[in-house]
Amino acid sequence: MASYNRSTPRSIILLIDLVIIFFSVMISYLLRFNFSIPYNEIELLPTALSIFMGVRLLSFIITKSFSGIIRYTETEDVTRIIFILLAGSIVLGAFDYIYFYFYEIIIIPRAILIIEFIASTVGLIAFRLLVKATYWEMKTPALQGEKIIIFGAGEAALFTLQALKQQLSETKVIALIDDDNRKQGKKIDNIKIYSAEDLSKLLEKNDVDKLIISAQNTSNQRKNELAELCFKYNTKIQYVPPVKKWINGELSANQIKNIDILELLERDEIKLDRTATAKEINGKTILITGGAGSIGSEIVRQVIQFQPKKILVIDSAETPLYHIELELNQYKLPNIEFVIGDIRNKSRMLRIFEEYKPNIIFHAAAYKHVPMMENNPSEAIFTNVNGTKILADLAHENGVEKFILISTDKAVNPTNVMGASKRIAEVYVQSLNTDSNTKYITTRFGNVLGSNGSVIPLFTKQIQEGGPITLTHQDITRYFMTIPEACQLVLEAGNKGNGGEIFVFNMGNSVKIVDLAKKMIKLSGLEVGKDIQIVFTGLRPGEKLYEELLATDENTLPTSHHKIMIAKVRNYEYAAINQKIEKLIQLFDSQDNQKIVKLMKDIIPEFISKNSVYETLD
């Protein structure tokens, strides 16, 4: 509001516009008659001038052409002035024609109309551009605000410049960066375009506050390179959101956001066989357990796109299920049912199977926290093993086409109860596949970015609270995948599966968690060790330093999708494994953790505990 109050009064702008019109009329007469105006035209000049001034004044008042802030003149304002003057000239021409029709006198020669239109257009636009140039020229030397570099010199950069100029805070864009050598050396709005090789020098010499990525097609690898460079010079890094997220097709400075760790860890978009997936899902009833969780809810969002007959979203957690229901109800989709139910309750699950008759099941419900399950083995086997067994058996008995189990990398050579419980679930559904018409498929992947209970939300909370960030070990590493990416691969694997496979996803390179924490601190504009401390607390019960995915040529088979492989694992005979799992589930009532874990190790010989009280059982 303060900026508006310091602007030139609107009445002064209107007066200046009218002065420009007056001189434009006079210049038009001089040019038309070679600086020697005939006597008869001089006699008509006061009348003609009055008509010109009256029509122009009326048009300015009606359109409020003088009401904009002159120093923010843009292309739209210039176009508006041209149309206002053109409309006025048409009115003047019509008036002149009518006057001639009745009185046979031409008050305003047609040539005068054309010349005055050109002169007034040039005058009014030049006045506004001069004010704008003078304002920014005077403002720049005294500028004490943020120094900004924009990465990208395309159309989005123009909108970014405009948005920054219109915000109230003081900012100065000192350079544009673009990889296109055809643009380098040129200027946009008097700002020079540099090559990417110059960025390091610019950051070093100018103490830059922000780098804004405006280029809409910047790859994730490029974002990481820019972020690393910005970290080196304590420069904040931001990005312009996709055009489809702009408000009414216009970008505002408030929409330019700080880049976060999720953007830096994302990988390029996965290309899926959408036609085959649509054929698999279209017109069918899809049951999704754990549908209110991170993975389950994203599977729901993605399955919706393929027009199933019905989606059953099942979860035992009332509040999260309510939240996903609220989210999806805004789309007014008639084919979604939200069901509260516990997968461990066979009667409840049987009722759901009988009523809805699902064709495909995505089983995402599970306990997944390693330390929690290490302290509660009976709950791990009751949910992850017994719950899976109940669903898998009902799928067989009710003629379900496909059953897709969502597993974890912690099931590979498990060192903890949680991982072992998921491995037992894998073993059971794989063995059941042998004698069933239902196709049982397992998908196995590592940590997903931003999921409930993952390190990123935890670190974010700790940074917001001023630290410290707590890590179990300085050398611990994990594989990460975004939730949408993981769920896309689940759908793809479910489509490709013929039954009995354990699909392993290519998780890319493992990430050192301490490096992840440092990046998150820097992205928050803080310094490691100064603003936020990192504290190492020691490995938790059952926790590994390094996760395994069995994603090498020696232990996997390739598929037609380069990010999906089939694990080479030992096959189990159904009768034998079923007998052992039944015995394991019966041990729940005993609540004897030692007996439960001992039998888990008997079922899964590769289950060797680490940093756990159960090491004595190995």
Output the CA angle 417-421-425, nearest 5 degrees: 170
H or E element, residue 229: helix 220-232
Maximum Cα interatomic distance, the chain, rounded to a whole number of Å: 119
Output the CA angle 476-479-484, nearest 5 degrees: 145
Q: What tokens were used for 96?
A: 């002149």
Q: Which residues of 545-568 are buried (b: 16+ CB within 10 A; e: fewer)?
A: eebbbbbeeeebeebebebbbbbe
Please measure the distance between the N-terminal and C-terminal CA atoms of the chain and give it in whole angstroms: 72
Contacts of 22 (CB under 8 A, 6+ apart): 49, 53
Q: Mind giving me the DSSP string for 235-270? A: -EEEEPPPGGGSBTTB--GGG-EE--HHHHH--PPP
In 3D space, the residue among 459, 461, 482, 479 whose CA is nearest the CA of residue 471 turns out to be 459
114: exposed, middle or buried (Cβ count in 10 Å: 0-12, 13-18, 19+):
middle
Catalytic residue among 210, 410, 518, 601: 410
In 3D space, the residue among 454, 455, 374 whose CA is nearest the CA of residue 421 turns out to be 374
Give 192's strand partners: 187
Give 194's strand partners: 177
Q: How far is CA 485 from CA 407, 409, 480, 557, 610, in A?
A: 15, 16, 10, 21, 31
Contacts of 68 (CB under 8 A, 6+ apart): 77
Give 237's strand partners: 211
H or E element, residue 599: helix 593-603
What's the rounded Cα separation, in Å, for the pair 154 and 287? 46
What's the rounded Cα separation, in Å, for the pair 50 and 573? 103
What's the rounded Cα separation, in Å, for the pair 353 and 394? 7
Beta strands in 467-509 (DSSP E): 469-471, 477-478, 480-482, 502-505
CA 194 to chain centre: 28
Residues in the chain: 618
In 3D space, the residue among 77, 26, 84, 98 whose CA is nearest the CA of residue 55 turns out to be 84
What's the rounded Cα separation, in Å, for the pair 240 and 432? 50
Look up residue 528 and give its DSSP letter: B
Q: Would residue 192 show up in a list of annotated catalytic residues for this protein?
A: no
Instruction: Annotate 359-418 with three-state secondary structure.
Output: CEEEECCCCCCHHHHHHCHHHHHHHHHHHHHHHHHHHHHCCCCEEEEEEEHHHCCCCCHH
Catalytic positions, written as ranges: 410
